Amino acid sequence: MTVCGLQANPSVQWVSDSFNSFDVILSGTGPGWTGTVTSPSGLWELTSGNIIQYPSIVSGSVMIDNYGYATFLGQLPSDYPAPNQFNSSVSIGTFGGYNQFFDPAGSITDGNPLDYGYLINANWWGDSTISVTSMPTLSDMSTWEWAAEYKASGGNLEVVPVPEPTTISLSALAAILGIASRFRKNRYPGTKIGL
């Protein structure tokens, strides 16, 4: 886990971590967190920025800044085209992030689609959300609780192994012997084929 700035490390919960989806929830206290986490399987790396600012540049409001992208770290199946100069990594994320301003009363929730990057062309789709769930002491952001979730799903990225040529030959031989056995039994009832 790489941490940027002085914000506390969040708790990290991977709800989904597979070849066709990921879902990770970051939660913590204070002014948010910016950094990178890797999934337990090693298939996904999430780079995330969740910044909460109070007071913000807009008087009396809370500013929420949220962005992120997840990169697939595995090998791409051979039928997927290689990333190009515009999408140089196998990732899905927010386009440039965003920031919004909210009244600091009650809980705050906002979100952004994950609609940018290589995996969009592979029929992946997802979203990111951030919530400030508790502000017990308005003037003390260290008491504020927040959660951010990044999730997406799409086509299966698992590389399916191609059977070895000898396996194919043995499978074909077994099929031929099975057909020959049925043919012989139908033609000459009560006989057996021996090897």
Same domain, 105 and 195: no
Q: What is the pLDDT of residue 5?
A: 41
Secondary structure (3-state) at 122: helix
128 plus 173 within the same structural domain: no
One domain for residues 52 and 117: yes
Q: Are 16 and 104 contained in the same domain? A: yes
Is the pLDDT confidence value at 62 over 70? yes
- 72 and 127 housed in the same domain: yes
Across 40-57, average pLDDT: 94
The residues near 189 (Cβ < 8 Å, ≥ 6 apart) are none
Whether residue 133 is found in the same domain as residue 185: no
Split into its structural domains, the chain has a count of 2
Co-location of 99 and 131 in the same domain: yes
pLDDT band of 9, cuts 50, 70, 90 = confident
> Mean pLDDT throughout 69-84?
92
**Whether residue 109 sits in one domain with residue 190:** no
Distance CA 171, CA 177 (A): 10
Q: What is the pLDDT of residue 117?
A: 94
pLDDT digits (tens, 9 = 90+) for 90-110: 999 998 767 789 998 878 998
Banded pLDDT at 6 (limits 50, 70, 90) = very low
Residue 185 in 3-state DSSP? helix
Is residue 113 pLDDT above 90, yes or no?
Answer: yes
Dihedral over Cα of 129, 130, 134, 135: its sign: negative
Residues of the domain holding 167 = 162-195
Same domain, 172 and 124: no
Give the distance from CA 159 to its chain's centroid.
Answer: 17
> Residues 92, 152: contact at Cβ < 8 Å?
yes
Mean pLDDT of the chain: 84
- In angstroms, the CA 55 to CA 53 distance is 6
In this structure, are 95 and 187 located in the same domain? no
End-to-end alpha carbon distance in the chain: 61
Say yes or no: 50 and 146 in one domain. yes
Q: How many angstroms separate the CA atoms of 77 and 158, rounded?
A: 7
Look-up of token digits 């807009």: 58
- For 144-189, the pLDDT digits (tens) are 999 999 999 999 999 987 666 655 565 665 666 566 556 555 555 5
Claim to verify: residue 51 and residue 131 sit in the same structural domain: yes
> Is the Cα dihedral 162, 167, 169, 173 positive or negative?
negative
